[in-house]
Amino acid sequence: MARRVGSASLNRIRAFFAVDLTDDVRARLARVIASGKSHLADDPIRWVRAETLHLTLRFLGETGPETIEAIRQDVQRGSMSWRSFDLEVRGLGCFPDPQRPRVIWAGSAEKSGAVATIAADLEQIARRQGLPAEDRRFSAHLTIGRVKDRLSPEGANRLSEFLGQSAGEAYGIVPVRSIELLRSDLKPSGPVYTRLAIFALPE
């Protein structure tokens, strides 16, 4: 069952569904980000603030309050068929590749298939409420950095080295017992997130 947070009379907002992290996993990834800032200090990379790290399940974009409310109700009904799961955060990588990187991520794995099921259901719900389809297939990951400009060959090598050093490193397990609907307000210092609803996942 969803627990609503905030007012239904919101202005048009930028929103998404996500999985929050444990403090332990967040702290470990904060150390990874600090290492990346040091190792890649001369490269055009914008690192994510550790306190805002999350696993995005479905981005809704700029959406009106009526549509947000319809999606919330649809997800509340659908969430009763979902199940809680444990998410392992491990290793680093980038999209699309180290020679042309745009996004630097920490990987995640989940054996039961629950996260993929939830993401697929959220995609169907979003489309049913009139939102355009995602242009990329869902891939469970946590964005830790974004490359603002093309890297030099030396920068690409530095990134490959940085990623390789953490290829198999484990950052912990996140027991996922709920998912969240979050509002994102873009600020000069980075996005600020406000929780709009929490959807508990049955055991």
What is the structure's pLDDT at 3? 52
Picking from 19, 22, 25, 9, the residue whose alpha carbon sits closest to that of residue 90 is: 25
> Which domains, ranges and CATH numbers included, belong to the chain?
2-200 (3.90.1140.10)
Cβ atoms of 176 and 56 within 8 Å: the answer is no
Which candidate in 28, 54, 58, 158 is catalytic?
A: 54
What is the structure's pLDDT at 54? 97
* pTM for the model: 0.90
What is the structure's pLDDT at 12? 85
What is the structure's pLDDT at 10? 45
Picking from 56, 198, 59, 195, the residue whose alpha carbon sits closest to that of residue 126 is: 59
| Cα distance between residue 159 and residue 146, in whole Å | 12
Picking from 25, 18, 143, 26, the residue whose alpha carbon sits closest to that of residue 93 is: 143
67 burial (CB, 10 Å; 0-12 / 13-18 / 19+) is middle
Which candidate in 58, 141, 158, 183 is catalytic?
A: 141
What is the structure's pLDDT at 145? 97
What is the structure's pLDDT at 4? 53
Tens digit of pLDDT at every position of the chain (203 positions):
555 544 444 478 899 999 999 999 999 999 999 999 999 999 999 999 999 999 999 999 999 999 999 999 999 999 999 999 999 999 999 999 988 999 999 999 999 999 999 999 999 999 999 999 998 889 999 999 999 999 999 999 999 999 998 878 999 999 999 999 999 998 888 889 999 999 999 98
Cβ atoms of 59 and 143 within 8 Å: the answer is no
Query: Active site includes 39?
Result: no
| Cα within 13 Å of Cα(30), Cβ side | 11
What is the structure's pLDDT at 178? 97
Picking from 138, 112, 150, the residue whose alpha carbon sits closest to that of residue 17 is: 138
